[in-house]
Structure 1
Amino acid sequence: MAVIEPRGDGRRQTVPNSMMHLTTWRYRRVTGPKLLKGRAMTDLTPDTVGKRIKQIRKLRHMTQTELALKAKISASHMAQVEQGKRQAGPAVLASIARALSVPPADLEGRPYLEELRRDQLDGLIQPIRESLDIFDLGADPDVAPRPTEQLVDHTDRLCRLIRGSDLRSAAAELPGLITETTTAAHSRDDRRLWQALAMQYRSGYDIASKLGFQDLASISLDRMGWAAERASDAVTGAIRQYNRALAYLRAGQYRTGIRIAELARETAELADPGLDRDAVTGQVHLGIAVLAARSSDTAAVDGNLAAAERISGRTGEVPEVLWLSFGPTNVAAHRASCLIDQALYHEALQVARSIEIPASWPASRAAHHHAEVARALLWTGKGDAAFRRLLDARHLAPQQSRHSSTVRETMAGLLRAQRRLPESMSNFASWIGM
């Protein structure tokens, strides 16, 4: 039997399953109480990673067993992932994506176009693409660029907007700034302009990667490397390679990501000794540690975390080196992240409890940390605490959190675990489009 919910007054009627096709009413099978403030909720199992895996698997004409074999995980693990009873951690998700011949972002459902349209962010992507395409055309005679100092200051302001999670404002201003700085860099003999242009391309990478446009993120990094070479700036070049390694992290290609991160470390060593070089080198070690955690290389995780910790002992908290944070707090946050990626959730929460986020941390970084801890809390049965962390992430960085795959999958797990859905949780799920 099934419950039929008419569109008008919300009253319900029971009819045989065989009659389902005869009605135009909305219906659902009874799986528990799901009424919220007088209205019925049609589905508490949103479009999740598990559902997408199943859909693509069927398109590939593969059985669960065949996919599990190809992804090198057990058949029971695969079944639990598809059913939403077990989380597909990043490494598992990457293995399944490779087995299905799709990028992990396809299984995550990124980019989340409906939510981008609601936030009016989708229309800002194409102008960024167009501004990245004029890099080698020289000075535009129809563009009259501002003085160098103003262009550099504007570049810094956009970086600050992104770190504060105001992606909309940054994305709206970025194309015009890139166009203006491109002409200035080609027409003036000033290394600072090439440095500014490199950082603008990095801002393009940040926006694209946070919103799920990985192709645009890759193009942005290529442009960043091109500009850094013209600026003869080893530190900026190292940051570019570090971000490139993170792109391979998201793609699940951990071995290649580690090789690129090692290149970033070698590039940083070409810079003059000082705080900038130390902070970037330390951050690269943290990136390698995360890549190693995803590839289950415990020795590399421990070695790189130890190296970063030694460097942070010299630098202390570094709130800002080319818009990159480093210090003891970031080392501890990455230690927790590595434990989470290895499914050592209780150990990760022990580390997380000792972390006090400094006021100097950018909102985007703090929100990402809260989202990761929420994931560990969910999988240790602490649903209420997990949801509070998601609320913290939304408070700090609403646009970033709304489009975060970690936030969405954690929320999907919370929805599955709830017999009765609190209004606050229902509102949050609606806010992120689930």
Structure 2
Amino acid sequence: MPLAEGEHTGTRIAYHRKRAGLTQRGLAQKIPYSYSLLTQVESGHKPASPDLVATVAKVLCVDVTSLTGQPYLTELQQDRLAELVRPIREALDLYDLGPDPAITPRPTPQLVAAAENFCRLVRATKLHEAALELPDVVAEITTAAYRAPSSEIWAALSSTYRTAHDVTVKLGYYDLSTVALDRMDWAASRASDPLLAAVRQYMRALVYFREGEYTIGQRLIVAGQSILGQAQPSRERFAVAGQLHLGASIIAARAHDRSEVTAHLAEARAYASRVGEASDALWLSFGPTNVRVHAVSAHIEMGEFGEALRQADGVRIPNDWAVSRASHFYVDRARVQMEAGRTEAALKSLITARRLAPQQTRYHAGARETIRGLVHLARRTPDTLDHLAAWVGL
């Protein structure tokens, strides 16, 4: 049963639901969402929230990407990004072959700087440039690590794999992102760096969060906190600890555990007061702003759109904040504005997200769902206005 032209998340849910032999009412009985909402999502009259998508994917035993349609190949081909995926896949697969005899690596300080610049490109959402450079950077640092191993060069390689994860997530290749996290762990263990290992657990937790496996996500957060105990007290350690609490707050929000959300946000806030805006600490963008942004996301996940909107209106993004994080916030704000009926404000937020990070916004599943919701509302509004105008005699 092929999917029709103009498919969207709702049509994909319907497709996989039918393949599983379930009616709409049958599926609605297995998820914490109403039959009415499910029918509206499948028909395209309502956007599919990340929570609904993750829940349905789990019930239907399919990946979330099967429902969201990622990666978005048409757009990737238009942006000439699809052709860069195979070299990335190969670069992630050649980690255990030892040094490449054709490569003469630069000195370690230059390679560390290259790894840092690679991170900088991704935070600036220059995805095409980052994807183009990724295979060569991985190959060169890997060769250097085999020929002259040191904690510094292995840490640089681990950081590069971590950034490869970020690139592949933003492009919608979640299978590759998981491989990149495995490679990150492989290199971090050789660097004997507990901070990188803890960050890796945090990122693994987000993978399971996206797939609706909240218990596993919570266990990974706890594992990351345990690993941090091996690190000496430092600003970087406090930033990682705070970020772990932020991740835990969103997982708890998706599980509708309000007390846990409150507790984790309080812990993160305490760490943020100690480190300030720590955008330079392992590229986490941790600090008071990120705590406020995560508080907004937590309220969205719990369906508390009024409170999310109130807090979102109070967020002020620092000028030097990573545009990848800022753009993500504006996508979240657009969603809650749409839910609150503030369609013009939602459109402005999406335009801001696009201005800051056009490629990231284009491939962001949440942005696409919000745009679809706004389009539906725009089509419906004129009829409503005509009815009201007739009603008052205009």
TM-score range for the pair, normalised by the shorter chain length: over 0.9
Residue 281 of structure 2: aligned partner:
321
Distance in structure 1 (CA, Å) of the matches to 2:302 and 2:32? 16
**SS of residue paired to 2:280:** strand
Is 2:139 aligned against 1:179?
A: yes
SS at match of 2:297: helix
Partners in 1 of 2:223 and 2:121 — Cα distance?
29
Q: By how many angstroms is 1:254 displaced?
A: 1.0
2:338 pairs with 365, 374, 378, which one?
Answer: 378
The alignment partner of 1:417 has SS state of helix
1:324 aligned counterpart, secondary structure: coil
- Mapped to 1, the partners of 2:169 and 2:154 lie a distance apart of 22
CA shift for structure 1 position 419: 2.9
Structural mapping, 1:37-52, within 5 Å: 46-52=6-12
Q: Aligned-pair distance for 1:102?
A: 0.9
The CA distance in 1 between the partners of 2:140 and 2:379, in whole Å, is 55
SS in 1 for 2:285: strand
Task: Say whether residues 1:200 and 2:157 are aligned partners.
Answer: no
- Structure 1 pair 319–72 and aligned structure 2 pair: CA distance change class (3 A): closer
Which of the numbers 218, 224, 247 marks the counterpart of 2:178?
A: 218
Q: 2:245 aligns with which of 285, 304, 307?
A: 285
Point out the structure with the larger strand share: 1
**Distance apart, 1:402 and its partner CA:** 0.5
CA–CA distance in structure 1, aligned partners of residues 131 and 47 of structure 2: 33
> Is the Cα–Cα contact under 8 Å of residues 91 and 295 in structure 1 kept in the other structure?
no
Shift of 1:46: 4.8
**What is the number of equivalent residue pairs in this alignment?**
379
- Structure 2 letter corresponding to 1:97: A
Distance in 2 (CA, whole Å) between partners of 1:125 and 1:421 is 41
For residue 111 of structure 1, give the secondary structure of its aligned residue in structure 2. Answer: coil
The match for 2:362 among 383, 402, 419 is 402
2:321 is aligned with 1:361: yes
- Structure 1: which 4+ aligned runs deviate by more than 6 Å? none
Query: In terms of Rg, which structure is larger?
Result: 1
User: Which letter does structure 2 place at the counterpart of 1:284?
Assistant: L
Match of 1:63 among 15, 23, 26: 23
Q: 1:97-176 counterparts in 2 under 5 A?
A: 97-176=57-136
**Paired residues of 2:289 and 2:316 also in contact (CA < 8 A):** yes
Query: Residues 329-371 of structure 1: CA distance to partner in whole angstroms, max 9, x if unpaired?
Result: 1100000000011111110011111111001210000000000
What's 1:345 paired with?
305
Instruction: Measure, in 2, the Cα distance between the counterparts of 1:255 and 1:189.
Output: 37
The one-letter amino acid of 2:122's match is I
Task: Quote the Cα distance in structure 2 between the aligned partners of 1:421 and 1:339.
Answer: 27
Q: Which runs of 5+ in 2 are unaligned?
A: 383-394
Contact 1:46 1:412 (C-alpha < 8 Å) held by counterparts: no
Higher helix share goes to which structure?
A: 2
Whole-Å separation in 1 of the counterparts to 2:42 and 2:133: 41
Matched, 1:389 2:389: no
| Corresponding position: 1:244 with 2:204 | yes
User: Please, which moves more after superposition, 46-55 or 276-285?
Assistant: 46-55
Compute the TM-score of the two structures, normalised by the length of structure 1.
0.85
Question: Does the CA contact (< 8 Å) of 2:337 and 2:346 recur in 1?
Answer: yes
Which position in structure 2 is the counterpart of 1:306?
266
- Which one-letter code corresponds to 1:302 in the other structure? T
1-structure distance, mates of 2:280, 2:298 = 23
For the residue of structure 1 that corresponds to 2:279, the secondary structure is strand
Q: Secondary structure at the match of 2:256?
A: coil
Cα contact 2:58–2:211 (8 A) shared by 1: no
Deviation at 1:93, TM superposition (A): 1.6
Q: Say if 2:353 and 2:361, in contact at 8 Å, map to a contact too.
A: yes
Alignment partner for residue 92 of structure 1, among 28, 34, 52? 52
Q: Deviations over 1:137-166 (max 9, x none)?
A: 212222211111111111111110000000
Deviates more, 1:400-409 or 1:313-322: 313-322
Tell me if the contact between 1:221 and 1:244 (Cα under 8 Å) persists in the aligned partners: yes
CA contact (8 A) 2:239 2:286 kept: yes
Shift of 1:134: 1.5
Percent identical pairs in the alignment equals 44
Supply the distance in 1 between the matched residues of 2:247 and 2:220 (Cα, whole angstroms).
Answer: 10
Query: How far does residue 280 in structure 1 lie from its aligned partner after superposition?
Result: 0.5
Bigger drift between 401-410 and 321-330 goes to 321-330
Q: What is the CA-CA distance between 1:71 and the residue it aligns to?
A: 2.7
SS in 1 for 2:29: helix
Q: Which residue in 2 is equivalent to 1:5?
A: none
Q: Residue 69 of structure 2 aligns to which amino acid in structure 1?
A: G
Aligned alpha-carbon RMSD (Å) = 1.7
Alpha-carbon distance between aligned partners in 2 of 1:215 and 1:283, rounded to the nearest angstrom: 24
Asked if 1 retains the 8 angstrom alpha-carbon contact of 2:47 and 2:372, the reply is no
1:361-420 CA-partner distances (Å, limit 9, x unpaired): 100000000000000000111111001000000000011001000110000000100138
